[in-house]
Amino acid sequence: MTYRAPVQEMRFLLDSVLGAGRLAETELFAEATGDMVDAILTEAAKLSEDVLAPTRRAGDLKPAYLENGVVRTSDGFAEAYRAIAEGGWVGVAADPEYGGMGLPVSVQSCVNEMLASSNLAISLCPLLSQGQIEALEHHANDELKALYLPKLTSGEWTGTMNLTEPQAGSDVGAVRSKAEPNADGTYAVTGTKIYISWGDHDMAENVCHLVLARLPDAVPGTKGISLFLVPKYIPDTEGNPGPANGVKTVSLEHKMGLHGSPTCVMEFDGATGWLVGEPHKGMAAMFTMMNNARLGVGIEGLSQAEAALQEAIAFALDRKQGRTPQNGVDTILGHADVRRMIMNMAALTASARAICLDCALSIDMGRATGEDDWKARAAFLTPIAKAFGTDTGCEVSDMAIQVHGGMGFIEETGVAQFFRDVRVTAIYEGTNGIQAMDLVGRKLMDGGAIAFGLVDEITATAREAGGPLGSRLVEAAESLRGATEWMLGAEPNDRFSGAVPFLRAFALTLGGHYLLKAALTGGDSQRDALAAYHIRQMLPEAMGLCEQARGGAEQLYAYEIAS
């Protein structure tokens, strides 16, 4: 595959559809001018295309492995990671006080998409570090910040997130790992964590774990969980890694995909850790990292959609099969069904990118202005970005295999890797069902204010456009409004029964809004065609999903499932 970073599309979306130029008008992001953003994205594109993309297949064919207690990474990964770290790409949005660029999350999100499209497995490592950086910036004491943030931001050290245990997956409150106070103010952390991405590797000089554990006086459930920073090597006051801590990798998981990204079973045996934030307030601190990661994982899903779309188009432009009905096109791209698949892939990918970057921009505006409306908008869009971004990655990668036909099922073509790699993103950071329940639960606790505000934005775009496309989008927006009103009056389990179709309906309708807004800028027949296709062919699904969302839970329990 020859990956080409969609920098022009990103810039158009940021500037002409989402209005990201207003960021440079704020004091916080005054340096994020158009020229600065262009320079950043152009350099990130070069890194992704020239350095990372050539390592993607090596990670799949020669996975990371455990050797004498040390995880060895795939061929070329250490050099590729070094290029990421030395280029400053870990700290794009990090605090300049600790070596970061201090740029908007929306810019970081574009960079992250490019890194992940070129090599999803390796991109997860800096993504986790970015989440840890944000958690420490918000919750760690000054001493921990001064010691850890410069190293994490530079990429010399990497970060992980340790939540899951064999008995505690989505139910984080069931965590059993414990932390006993030491005389010197540190804690002895003991427990087993599973599914720890990049829990160990040979690419950086230290690996820093954020670990959920219970203090001796902890109450049961999530209210009794604290957060600890536990490094692989205990650093001295100058930040030099010292003796090995009581942390080891027990084994690596054998996975469907993402073979280049080591997923570790970690054992903490009285390991020295430092409390992050207040005792028993670990979930609040960890959610800072998880919310960052949820948007980041949505972008990981988007990245594989973009890469798979490019691969499918390249194949369709070259593959000849049968007689095509389109004059001048003698490859499978002339067949209507192949066109249908590629149009679906393009519309879903463009919609997912717009949702993710709108979410990122809302985060930036919330930080820059302090306005609660922006923060609430970002919070509402986060589960949509995560779930729809990763669902899109799975759906588009699957369609890319179908475009390839039999060749897609053959590993030598490499297209199946996109689906195998991206599939877990729909499970990461709270499954997509949990994201949907969050959307219809916590995110509607404002009486639907943000949801209705977004519906109003969609309707305004539709009325500006007018014509048949505008009318169809108005109809979809009103269906969404009705589904939202139903959710607000429904019992919790009835809401949850329709949460997944409601989220997808919201995402598809938002997609129509963004794509039509892009077409309204004028002068681009491709954008006109994509908006028209999405509204005519995909919005009917959104209206059907709104009806499905209001079905209630009773029908789900009427069917007896035998043991």
At 231 the three-state DSSP class reads strand
Residue 134 is a catalytic residue: no
User: Strands 206-213, 157-162: parallel, antiparallel or unpaired by DSSP?
Assistant: parallel
State phi, psi for 363 to the nearest 5 degrees. Answer: -60, -45
Q: 105's torsion region: left (phi>0), alpha (psi -120 to 50) or beta?
A: alpha
Beta bridge partners of 210: 161, 229
Q: How far apart are CA 277 and CA 4, in angstroms?
A: 42
- Please report, as a single letter, which amino acid is at residue 289: M
- In the structure encoding, which two tokens stand for residue 337, read together? 């069904």
- CB proximity list for 72: less than 8 A, separation 6 or greater: 64, 65, 66, 202
Burial bucket for residue 192 (CB in 10 Å: 0-12, 13-18, 19+): middle
- In the structure encoding, which two tokens stand for residue 525, read together? 């027949």
Number of neighbours of residue 300 by Cβ within 10 angstroms: 29
Judge contact between 493 and 555, C-beta under 8 A: no
- Please report, as a single letter, which amino acid is at residue 1: M
- CB proximity list for 379: less than 8 A, separation 6 or greater: 291, 443, 450
At 209 the three-state DSSP class reads strand
| Torsion angle, alpha carbons of 17, 21, 22, 23, to 10 | 120
- 113, 300, 311, 429: the active-site residue: 429
For residue 177, which of 129, 136, 252, 228 has the smallest C-alpha distance? 228
- Residues across the chain: 563
3-state secondary structure 138-207: HHCCHHHHHHHHHHHHHCCEEEEEECCECCECCCHHHCCCEEEECCCCCEEEEEEEEEEECCCCCCCCEE
- Please report, as a single letter, which amino acid is at residue 368: A
Place of tokens 């995402």: 507
- In the structure encoding, which two tokens stand for residue 393, read together? 């990655």
User: Strands 247-252, 157-162: parallel, antiparallel or unpaired by DSSP?
Assistant: unpaired
Q: How far apart are CA 5 and CA 288, in angstroms?
A: 29
Place of tokens 């997509």: 432
Q: How far apart are CA 311 and CA 478, in angstroms?
A: 37
Residue 331: half-sphere exposure toward Cβ, Cα within 13 Å:
12
State phi, psi for 4 to the nearest 5 degrees. Answer: -125, 120
Judge contact between 503 and 384, C-beta under 8 A: yes
Judge contact between 72 and 202, C-beta under 8 A: yes
Kindly list the catalytic residues. Answer: 429
